[in-house]
Structures are given as C-alpha cells and as structure tokens.
C-alpha cells in the first residue's frame, strides 16, 4: 500500500470565505501546495467569467499563482475532476447554485473539495452558492480583511465604483473592505 498515492475514501468539503482582500485565494493556494506535497492529484478550477489576471491561472492579490481550468458551469466539474483526489475551486460565488450538489457528489465520491469565495456581495447579502456550501461543509474558514477606513476587521466588500450589476469584477479601484460600522455609516449616508 503506497500511502502517498492512496486516495482517501472519506471525502470532505472545505469552504474558505470572507470579503475581498481577506486572503481567500492565498489560503486556497496554501492548501493546494500541501496537497501537492502529499502527492495528491489536484485539479484547480475557476469560473470563466473571472478574467482579471489570467484566464488559465488562479492568481492571488499577493501575486501567487497556479494554473487552472476555467469552466462555464459547475456541471463541468464532475467530468473534469474525475481523476482528482482534490478538487479546488476559486471565486465560487460566480458559479450557479448547482455547485452545491456537484460538490456534495464529489465529496461523497471520496474527494476533498476546497472552495474559496465571497460569502456576501457588495450589498452585504449572501452571495451565490456560498451560503449553501457553508451549510453542507465539513469545515468553514472565514477569513477577514482589514477595514480600509478604520483598521478593524472587515465585514464586507464595499463597491466604490458605480454599477447596478450584482456581478462586477474589480480590484482595489472598484472595491474596498469595510467593517460593519463603516459599511453601514457609508450606506446610511447615501
């Protein structure tokens, strides 16, 4: 029995969530690195709508990156991840709600599923499939950025730029992390 290549029969779902600039992708890449050290077969995915850095890589705000597959729907993950021991998904909030059942099926098939995504949108509302994934996860890690206004722990990604679209990809020019107090202070003033 070769333990370094032995697939575990116990699948799991891990969710890494929080606001923008909280280190979600950095944590996802750290966990993937540990899986690679353990000689596990890892497949990394992101939605094809995320074209901010590179279409074929997951890139953290700190500049760390790993190659990935961009997919248009969560149903594609089942086939593309069939040979993997570990299925990693970044920017999961942009996938459809079917992602929840896809991840459960992958975990039930013995795969470790690691998901990173925003738990709330810029209106401080639950975002996409992340809340349901948090409910069915074996482990949830909520990471927090630092409030750009006061330095407390951030609560939400506040949209600086003007757009009514729920999905609006951006970076530091479009969003800033805010604590609960600063977010509602700014929201109430508008």
Integer-rounded Cα Rg, in Å, for the chain is: 17
Q: Is 111 helix (H, G, I), strand (E, B) or coil?
A: coil
Token digits for 101? 């059942």
Nearest C-alpha neighbor of 58 from the set 72, 49, 69: 69
Query: How many other C-beta atoms are found inside a 10 Å radius of the C-beta of residue 99?
Result: 26
CA atoms within 13 A on the CB side of 26: 12
Catalytic residue list contains 91 = yes
Matching residue, tokens 């499939």: 129
Q: 102 and 89 in contact (C-beta within 8 Å)?
A: no
Query: How many other C-beta atoms are found inside a 10 Å radius of the C-beta of residue 179?
Result: 22
Catalytic site residue from 14, 65, 91, 98: 91
Annotated catalytic residues are 91
């Amino acid at each position: 029995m070769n333990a370094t290549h032995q697939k575990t029969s116990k699948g799991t779902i891990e969710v890494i969530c929080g606001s923008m600039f909280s280190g979600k992708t950095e944590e996802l890449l750290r966990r993937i690195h540990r899986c690679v050290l353990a000689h596990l077969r890892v497949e990394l995915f992101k939605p094809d709508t995320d074209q901010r850095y590179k279409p074929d890589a997951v890139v953290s705000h700190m500049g760390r990156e790993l190659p990935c597959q961009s997919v248009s729907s969560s149903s594609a993950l089942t086939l593309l991840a069939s040979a993997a021991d570990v299925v990693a998904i970044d920017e999961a909030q942009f996938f459809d709600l079917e992602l929840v059942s896809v991840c459960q099926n992958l975990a039930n098939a013995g795969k470790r599923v690691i998901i990173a995504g925003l738990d709330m949108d810029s209106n401080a509302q639950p975002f996409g499939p992340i809340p349901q994934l948090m409910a069915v996860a074996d482990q949830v890690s909520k990471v927090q950025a630092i409030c750009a206004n006061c330095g407390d722990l951030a609560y939400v990604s506040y949209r600086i730029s003007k757009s009514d679209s729920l999905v609006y990809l951006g970076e530091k020019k479009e969003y800033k992390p805010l604590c609960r107090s600063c977010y509602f202070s700014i929201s109430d003033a508008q």
